[in-house]
Amino acid sequence: MLDRLTLDQLRVLLAVAEEGSFSAAARKLGRVQSAISQSVQTLEDVLQVQLFSREGKVPTLTEAGRVLLADARNLVRGAETMRTRAEGIATDVEPELTLAVDPIFPSGVLMESLQLLSEEFPCLPVTLFTEGLGGPEQRLRDGTVRLAIYTLLSTGAEDLESEFLTTIPMIPVVAASHPLAREPGPLTRAQLEQHVQLVLTDRTPLSNHLRGGIYSLRIWRFADLATRLEFLLGGFGWCFMPTHMVEAHIAAGRLARLSLQQQDSFDFSVSVVRERGRTPGRAGRWLLEDLRKRLGGDLGSENPIK
C-alpha cells in the first residue's frame, strides 16, 4: 500500500495543516477544493489512519495526524534537499567538498570562507580534516579528500598538482617566564642547545623532507600544533610558531619573541594541492577564490609540483 504514497500527497497534507482548511490549501496550491479533499482521502487510505477530524467547520489534525505531519515535513524537506543537490551536481557542484588543512593555515580566514560557502551552497556537505605535516597529503593520497592545504616542504611531493596560496611567517617564541626570555639576544646555538625545544612530529611517514629548524639537544615532540602551543605557554620550552597564532600572546605578555643569531624567522609557503587530473568542482573553485581574496595573494596558475 505504501507504494501509493506520493510527495504530492504529503505536500497537500502540509498545506492543509498550515493553511487551516481544504479551501485555503486549494488556493495556495492553485487547485480546486475537491482535488485537495480527494488527495487527503487517498493519503488516509494509503496510511490506513485518519489524519483530520472533519466534525467541525474546519478540519483539525487527529493525534495520528499530528505525529505523521512531522514525518511528512521531514520527507518533503529531504526530497527538496535531494533535488537541490542533484541540480548542483548537474551544474558542476561537487556531491561533497572534502579538504584537509594544516593547522598552520589561519583558522579565522578558513572559517570566514567556509561560512560564506555554506550560504552560497546551502545543501553542500563539507568534510574538513585539520592535520599537520604529512597528514593533509596522506588524506589526499588515500582518497579521503579532493583538496589539501599545506606546505609542500613537509613531503617534497613530485607527482601532485599545486597552486600557491600564501606564506606563513614563523618566529621563535618562548613563555615570558622561561629563562630564555631573560637572555639578551641574539641568542647563539650554544645557548639554545641547553633548553628544551618543542618540535612537531608526524603521524605519517611523509614528512622526511622537513628536517631543519632543530637547534636544541633536548627535544619534546608533539603531534599537533594546539597542544604544542599549550605547553609553550606553560613554559616547557621554546619553538618556532606561526606569527598569527602567537602575536596576541606576545602583545599580552604571555610569550616573548626570541632573537636568534642564526635564523631569526622564516616563511612557510602554503599551497592548495590535489591529485593530477582531479580539478575541483564549482564549490571548490569558489572556496579557493574566496580564500585568495581574503589573503590578498594570488593562487597562480596550475603547475605540477616539481
* 8 Å CB contact between 40 and 52: yes
**CB atoms closer than 10 angstroms to residue 78:** 11
CB 257 within 8 A of CB 178: no
pLDDT digits (tens, 9 = 90+) for 49-90: 888 888 777 788 888 888 888 888 888 888 777 776 665 565
pLDDT at 242: 93
Q: Of the candidates 128, 92, 108, 90, which has an alpha carbon nearest to the alpha carbon of residue 286?
A: 92
Q: What is the pTM of this model?
A: 0.64
Which residues of the chain does CATH 3.40.190.290 include? 92-306
- Model pLDDT for residues 6-51, shown as the tens digit of each residue: 888 888 888 888 888 888 888 888 888 888 888 888 888 888 888 8
The CATH number of 2-89 is which of 3.30.1280.10, 1.10.10.10, 3.30.70.20, 3.30.70.1230?
A: 1.10.10.10
Q: How far is 292 from 72, CA to CA, in rounded Å? A: 43
List where CATH 1.10.10.10 sits in the chain.
Answer: 2-89
Query: Which numeric CATH code is attached to 92-306?
Result: 3.40.190.290
Helices and strands (DSSP H and E) totals, the chain: 10, 12
Task: State the first-to-last Cα distance of the chain, in angstroms, to the nearest integer.
Answer: 62
Q: What is the pLDDT of residues 247-271, one digit of tens each?
A: 999 999 999 999 998 777 788 889 9
Task: Choose the most confident range, by mean pLDDT, from 88-102, 211-225, 282-296.
Answer: 282-296
Closest CA to 181 of 255, 266, 262: 255
273: alpha, beta or left? (left if phi > 0; alpha if psi -120 to 50) = beta
> pLDDT band at residue 300, thresholds of 50, 70 and 90?
very low
Q: Which residue has the higher pLDDT, 304 or 2?
A: 2
**Can you tell me the distance from the alpha carbon of 198 to that of 184, in angstroms, rounded to the nearest whole number?**
21
* CA-closest candidate to residue 100, choices 258, 206, 249: 206
Average pLDDT over residues 95-104: 90
Q: What's the mean per-residue pLDDT of the chain?
A: 84
User: Half-sphere exposure of 72 toward its Cβ, with a 13 Å CA cutoff?
Assistant: 25
Per residue in 189-226, pLDDT (tens digit) is: 999 989 999 998 877 655 554 555 778 888 999 988 89
Q: How far apart are CA 110 and CA 101, in angstroms?
A: 9
261-266: long-range pairs with CB below 8 Å, 24+? 261/185, 261/186, 261/187, 261/188, 261/189, 262/189, 262/215, 263/213, 264/171, 264/172, 264/186, 265/169, 265/170, 265/171, 265/172, 266/169, 266/170, 266/213, 266/240
Give the C-alpha separation, 230 to 175, whole Å.
10
Residues contacting 223, CB < 8 A, separation 6+: 132, 200, 201, 202, 203
pLDDT at 116 over 80: yes
Residues 6+ apart with CB under 8 A from 300: 163, 164
CB 51 within 8 A of CB 68: yes
